[in-house]
Amino acid sequence: MQAKASLRMLRVTPQKTRLVADLIRGQDVARAEDILRYTNKRSAKPILKLLKSARANAVNNHDMFEDSLFVKDIQVGDGPTFKRYLPRARGRADLLRKRTCNITITLEERSGQ
C-alpha cells in the first residue's frame, strides 16, 4: 500500500529542489522531517509541508501505521516557466525565466516490523 501527495507550481527551480529531495529519499518519515526542519534551503519548508500531508493521507485514508512509514520515492519535475523581460541598454530586452517545479512524494510501510 502506498500513500501519495503532490505539490504543483512551486516557485523554486527544479535543480535546487532536487538537492533537498535527495536528502530524504529512502529515509523514515520522522528522520526526514528532522532533516527538512534543519535544512537551510528555500524548498525545504514546502517539502516538509508536503511530507506531513502525505503522512496524514497514509494514516487517515489508507490505515497505515505512522511509525513504519518511509519515503519510498520523491520526484521533482519541471513545471511551467514564467517568461519575463528585463530592459537593457540601447532598447534591448533580456528574457528572464522564472522556473517552477512539481513535486510528488510516495510513502510506504516497511515490512517486517
Question: pLDDT per residue over 88-112, tens digit each?
Answer: 999 999 999 999 999 999 999 998 6
Q: Are 3 and 99 in contact (CB under 8 A)?
A: no
What are the respective helix, strand and coil percentages of the chain, to the nearest 5? 40, 35, 25
Predicted pLDDT of residue 111: 84
Q: Kind of pairing, strands 101-109 and 69-78?
A: antiparallel
Which grid cell sits at 61?
485514508
For 59-95, give the DSSP string: HHHH---GGGEEEEEEEEEE---EEEEEE-GGG-EEE
Q: What is the mean pLDDT of residues 23-30?
A: 97
Supply the pTM of this predicted model.
0.93
Instruction: Report all structural domains of the chain as residue ranges with CATH numbers, in order of start.
Output: 2-109 (3.90.470.10)
Predicted pLDDT of residue 106: 98
Question: pLDDT per residue over 36-85, tens digit each?
Answer: 999 999 999 999 999 999 999 999 999 999 999 999 999 999 999 999 99
